[in-house]
Amino acid sequence: MENEENSRARARARRKARYRRLKHEGNKRRRVEHQSDPESSEHESATETSASEVSTGFSDEENECQPIGAGTFADSNQEADEEAGDGGHDEQSNESDAEGPGNVNDIVSIEEEENVERDSAGGGSEDHSELQSNVSDGERAHQGDVSDTSGNDSHSDGHRSDVESEGSEDYLAHSDSGSESEESEAENSEDSHEEGNSESSLEESDEDDVDDDMEGNEPIYPGAQITLHESLLSIFTLLFVENLSGALITKVLQLIALHCPDGSIVKRTLHTFRAYFSKLGESLLVFHFFCSECKYPLKTKTSRCLKCKKNSDVSYFLELPLLQQLQNLFSRNDFYQNLQYRFKADRKYHSDNIEDIYDGEIYKGQMENGFLQNMSNISFMWYSDGVSIFKSSSFSIWPLCLVINELPYKMRTLPENILLVGLWFGKGKPSPNVFFKPLQKNMKTFTQDGHTFKLPDNSLVLVKGKIICGTCDLPAKCNFLLFKQFNSYFGCPKCMIAGGRAAVNNSTVQVYPYSANIQQRTHEETVQYAREALEERKNNKDASVYGVKGPSLLLKLVPDIIKCTAIDIMHGVFWGVCKMLMKLWFSSTYSTMPWSIHHLTGILDEKLKKIKSPSFVQRAPRQLKDMKFWKASEYKLFLLYYSVPLLKNVLSEVYLKHHCLLVSAIYLLSQDSISPSPKIPWTPWNSMISFPWIERRSAAKEPYFHGKYLTWKWAKTTWRVILHGEMSPMTFLDVPWLMGTLMGFLDWALAQVQTASKLLMSYVSDFARLYALRFLGMNVHQLIHLSDQVLDLGPLWVYTCAFLENYNGKINKFFHGTQHIAMQICSTASMFMQIPVFKRMLPPDSKVKGFCDKLKNWRKPFKIADVIDDYSYAVGTYSFNMRDIRDTGNVVQRCLNKFSGSCSIFYRLRKNGVMYFSEEYGRLSSRKKSSFIQFLDGETKQLGCILRFVRWSNCRNLCDVKCRDCPAQFFATVKVYERDFWFAHEYRNVRLSYMCKVTCSNRVVAIDVQSIISLCFFYEANGDMFIVTPINRLEIE
């Protein structure tokens, strides 16, 4: 053992000596290269074949595109307007957007793009190893992401030696400094041109023991029960789930090493730990260089900018090739099968309704032309947005992500299924066409020729893919589409409205007054305007044509640049319109305005404190004084679930009625199933339609009156209408009134998209009259485009940025310290995507595999008393209180005709991932209320409160009272709450069927637990009780 250790030590010493010698020679050679003509080095590098092109399978047949939008933003108040784009328009700037492509030399039209010479356009890329030999010390410190290493001496077969691998992997390590010094170090790392950071990183790497020949299948020490691969996989799963810092991971590794005998092969440093997983990922990165001054694409790191002729710094962005990431996904079990979700017969509730992106016109078009009719082909949705890295610095990253539309919604939104294909980082916004060019080239080949992927059973499948839509917030959207910003004339990406300026104190803001006749933008016209703008910018660099500044590469990437670019309701509605409304209502700034209820803020706070949210809601309501800290999900909950009942008797009637129009429309367009036109057949009504004051009842031969209800037989179904106020049964003899009520019901039931469109038109048209013209900005204006978007792309939840912002949050945790940020993010993202592949390599009975599954899918532990089915569980322990059993047994016998058998009581049920609590469960949080449900009573949707859960078996007098071996049925006893008429029903065209005022009845029923539809909100407001059903079952609140 001692001889073996000595041998390893000598080998490490030899590698260190050789590495230092190669590093010294590389530095010397680099100094010589800097003294030579930079144009000659560019010419030489242009003749080389990029290793990254070979590794990805794409040849460089398409010429590089010169950048559009390379100039800087000239709007002095741009930051304020961008904030308004995400969170309201009360602080818009008085300047028009002056962003432009810069000089006309920066612009290449769509037709001319294919003919641009490669050498003149630059636009080169280098793989990971090529970067090592070209990164200068000054640029390394400026970027803060790549250390000063050299990898020029490589083997003739293209593979790096052990020493070179050890050196190139060095910059994957990162600083373990404390959080209190990270921000100050960030500033230094961006501006410093010293070699100190690189040297310290290299010294740490010199001490690491990287054995590239180790495959991970050996036990961590002789006789150990787990291999090195299993050990590191379990540690990495812990790292990601718990968001551990680099310093803490280092301590964990050292702690594990202390528990192992001498001679173990466990990883002891953060560098070796990361290097084990990132060997595949790091070789896939492709670097694209550009001039920091004018964003002009460059061939190599040492290239001179041929446009601005300045010796400015050279920057770069990273490309993570798409095909290798897709191969990792196709290597997972059941991934290919999940791509067939769109063809499943049981996917839809109703065949004619809009229920996902597949029901939108854009996706249908790709099905009709045959591309997506092929079961192996896939489509993507693109997304990009800036992520701030440090609070004290403007440095940010812009990940470019792709979402696979063919996966079921809950699967496609998981971080491990989102593809990270690009990463722009620095102090400015991306140059759109430079950033999208690699993706456009790769996607062109992938769409035309496809790629063959290997499945887990070693079979091969030819797959083609294309991008069919995209989503982002308003500022990013205008940047990538090459449109004028939303605070400029012609700033709407959907229509041709010019807008105007409204006076605000001594300044003005851009507004978009309502107009009934607005010309919609089209893809063809946008192409024409881009060409015209290209010509006009020869004489005026700030020119635009109807808001279009030039040709965007998205014209080539998506079928229709207008219809395929979605409006995000998270930024536009929740962070935009709702946040602005709450500022108008509750801010002291507007306390003298007629809409202000600032003086009643305390009353609203008391009401919010009393609301108890169901278990699936992550955040309990917070007070209005904390509104500046609210998340988008909190604004969403307030808008859709709390605002209407709470604002009754608080907000003026005219403003409340106006607000109900917005809530109704967003509800209609965010459902699981949306009727697009009045063509739904009568049959689905029997199981689908529920309305606040119209209910299905048991069979009746003719209309009759009973208490406060009118009941009649219609369309083979019995219905009842709630009588309210001074209404008498004779009211229904008024034929026009009855027909008006029924026609309104038909309008709601059969044409939800058109109804929502009318509601939004009415809302926007009255907005300036009720509030002020200055608040009618882009967020309010784009509400009128939501209905058309649902027809094109599906319900609003399909393309919300909520789950993608969550992914950005995880990216923010992909790095630690302040050095090599971009490399850390890329390598860790690659590692995370490969976890399922690594797990598949484990034996089926591996304890580590079970540990990783439990860790990754961790939830608050609960005891399972019985397994009801694959998705339902009786939770906790059974109660055998005889009085409860007797009372519950009587209900079961009366409702279900169960006259013999034994029953036991339990108080919690977990179904489809949601925990239901009975009313008698006494350990629930004081801010939670999870016993109110919507359920099916026969074929009627009812509302009620769970009293108890019951396990019923037929083994009475035959088995012990606590018998668990006999077959059993599971029921819930529910107290029924009747829907009642409330003030929202008096508002014409308001559609709030999911929000019901209720009264508690004396009726208790027993239902099968499979009849439970959903958990509901329950709260009291103004002395009334309300039950609110979830708008859809897919989004996480």
Could you give the CA distance from residue 497 to residue 91 in angstroms, rounded to a whole number?
21
Per-residue confidence band for 952, with pLDDT thresholds at 50, 70 and 90: confident
Mean pLDDT of 1001-1005: 88
Rounded CA-CA distance 746/602 in Å is 41
Alpha carbons 316 and 467: distance in angstroms, whole number = 24
Q: Which H/E stretch holds residue 719?
A: strand 717-722
pLDDT for the residue numbered 145: 39
Q: pLDDT (tens digit, 9 = 90+) per residue, 846-867?
A: 777 777 766 665 556 678 888 8
CA distances from 277 to 215, 254, 332, 735 (A): 11, 18, 17, 74
291/297 Cα distance (integer angstroms) = 6
Give the pLDDT of residue 810: 72
- Residues 6 or more apart whose CB falls under 8 angstroms from that of 212 comprise 162, 165, 279
827 vs 595, which has greater pLDDT? 595
pLDDT at 377: 97
Q: Say if CB 563 and CB 362 are below 8 A apart.
A: yes
Of the segments 258-262, 281-285, 937-941, which one has the largest average pLDDT value? 258-262
Contacting residues for 200 by C-beta, under 8 A, at least 6 apart: none
Confidence of residue 736 (pLDDT cuts 50, 70, 90): very low
> What's the whole-number average pLDDT of the chain?
74
d(CA 687, CA 716): 13
Task: Inform me whether the pLDDT recorded for 285 exceeds 50.
Answer: yes
What does the pLDDT read at residue 302?
Answer: 78
DSSP 602-623: HHHHHHHHH-BB-TT-SS----
Q: Would you say the C-alpha torsion 91, 96, 101, 103 has a positive or negative sign?
A: negative
pLDDT by residue (tens digit) across 665-707? 999 999 999 988 654 343 333 333 334 444 443 333 333 333 3
Question: Is the Cα dihedral 646, 651, 655, 657 positive or negative?
Answer: positive
- Is the pLDDT at 584 greater than 50, yes or no? yes
**By C-alpha distance, which of 780, 775, 586, 584 is closest to 665?**
780
CA distances from 1030 to 302, 412, 514, 783, 794 (A): 58, 21, 32, 22, 19
Residues 6+ apart with CB under 8 A from 902: 952, 953, 955, 956, 959, 961, 963
For 556-573, the pLDDT digits (tens) are: 999 999 999 999 999 999
pLDDT in tens, 867-893: 888 889 999 888 776 666 666 666 666
Percent of all residues in the chain with a pLDDT value above 70, rounded to a whole number: 63
Average pLDDT over residues 485-514: 93
Half-sphere exposure of 292 (CA within 13 A, CB side): 14
Six token digits for residue 796: 């609003």
Q: Which amino acid is at 500?
A: G
The pLDDT value recorded for residue 963 is 62
Residue 519 has pLDDT above 80, yes or no: yes
d(CA 986, CA 741): 11
Mean pLDDT score, 936-943 = 86
Asked whether residue 773 carries a pLDDT value surpassing 70, the answer given is: yes
Minimum mean pLDDT range among 42-56, 222-236, 1022-1036: 42-56
Q: Is the pLDDT of residue 520 over 90?
A: yes
CB 287 within 8 A of CB 145: no
Is residue 420 pLDDT above 60, yes or no? yes
With cut-offs at 50, 70 and 90, classify the pLDDT of residue 192.
very low
Predicted confidence band at 894 (pLDDT cuts at 50, 70, 90)? low
Residue spans of the domains in the chain: they are 57-115+296-597+651-666+776-812, 685-750, 864-1028
pLDDT at 776: 95
Contacts of 768 (CB under 8 A, 6+ apart): 513, 514, 775, 776
Residues 472, 402: Cα–Cα separation, whole Å? 12
Q: Using the predicted structure, report yes or no on whether residue 484 has a pLDDT greater than 70.
A: yes
Strand (E) or helix (H) holding 454: strand 451-454
The one-character DSSP state at 106 is G
Going by C-alpha positions, the residue among 133, 684, 57 that lies closest to residue 327 is 57
Rounded to whole angstroms, the Cα distance separating 154 from 1007 reads 72
Our measurement of the distance from residue 822's CA atom to the centroid of its chain's CA atoms, rounded to an integer in Å, reads 21
Specify the pLDDT at position 1028: 95
pLDDT score for 438? 93
Taking the alpha carbons of 198, 202, 205, 211 in that order, is the dihedral positive or negative?
positive
Distances (CA, A) of 734 to 92, 275, 727, 744: 52, 80, 12, 16
Question: Rounded mean pLDDT of 414-434?
Answer: 87
Of 4 and 583, the structure prediction assigns the larger pLDDT to: 583
Q: Which of 133-137, 281-285, 599-603, 974-978 has the lowest mean pLDDT?
A: 133-137
Residue 988: which pLDDT band, with cuts at 50, 70 and 90? confident
Per-residue DSSP letter, 493: S
811 or 125, greater pLDDT: 811
The CATH label, of 2.30.29, 2.30.30, 1.10.8, 2.40.320, for the domain at 864-1028 is 2.30.30
> What angle is formed at CA 764 by the lines to CA 759 and CA 770, rounded to 5 degrees?
115
CB-based burial of residue 708 (10 Å sphere; 0-12 exposed, 13-18 middle, 19+ buried)? middle
Q: Which residue has the tokens 């609110």?
A: 1028
pLDDT digits (tens, 9 = 90+) for 59-77: 333 333 333 333 333 333 3
For residue 922, is pLDDT > 80? no
Predicted confidence band at 729 (pLDDT cuts at 50, 70, 90)?
very low
pLDDT over 90 at 933, yes or no:
yes
Q: Which pair of tokens denotes residue 490? A: 């012609």
pLDDT tier at 241, thresholds 50, 70, 90: confident
* Residue 13 tokens, joined: 């010493």
CA geometry: angle at 364 spanning 361 and 366, to 5°?
115
* 204-210 average pLDDT score: 37
pLDDT at 500 over 70: yes
Q: Residues 568, 799: contact at Cβ < 8 Å?
A: yes
Where does residue 505 rank: exposed (0-12), middle (13-18), buried (19+ CB within 10 A)? exposed
Task: Write out the H or E segment, with its range, that includes residue 666.
Answer: helix 653-668
Q: What is the mean pLDDT of residues 391-406?
A: 85
The CA-CA-CA angle for residues 753, 755, 761, to 5°, reads 100
Higher pLDDT, 708 or 990: 990
Instruction: With CA atoms as reference, report the closest residue to 107 among 294, 254, 287.
Output: 294
**What's the full length of the chain, in residues?**
1037
> Which candidate, 124, 99, 933, 1027, places its Cα nearest to that of 486?
99
For residue 126 the two structure tokens come to 């280098």
Give me the pLDDT at residue 94, please.
38
Q: Which of 393-397, 958-962, 1023-1027 has the highest mean pLDDT?
A: 1023-1027
741-771 residue pLDDT tens: 444 454 445 578 999 999 999 999 999 999 9
Mean pLDDT value of segment 121-127:
42
Radius of gyration of the chain (CA): 32
Q: Are 1020 and 607 in contact (CB under 8 A)?
A: no
**Structural contact between residues 19 and 166, judged by C-beta atoms closer than 8 angstroms:** yes
pLDDT above 50 for 945: yes
Burial per residue of 433-469, b for 16 or more beta-carbon CB atoms within 10 angstroms, e otherwise: bbbbbbbbbbbbbbbeebbebeeeeeeeeebbbbbbb
pLDDT value at residue 828: 65
Sign of CA dihedral 816, 820, 821, 825: negative
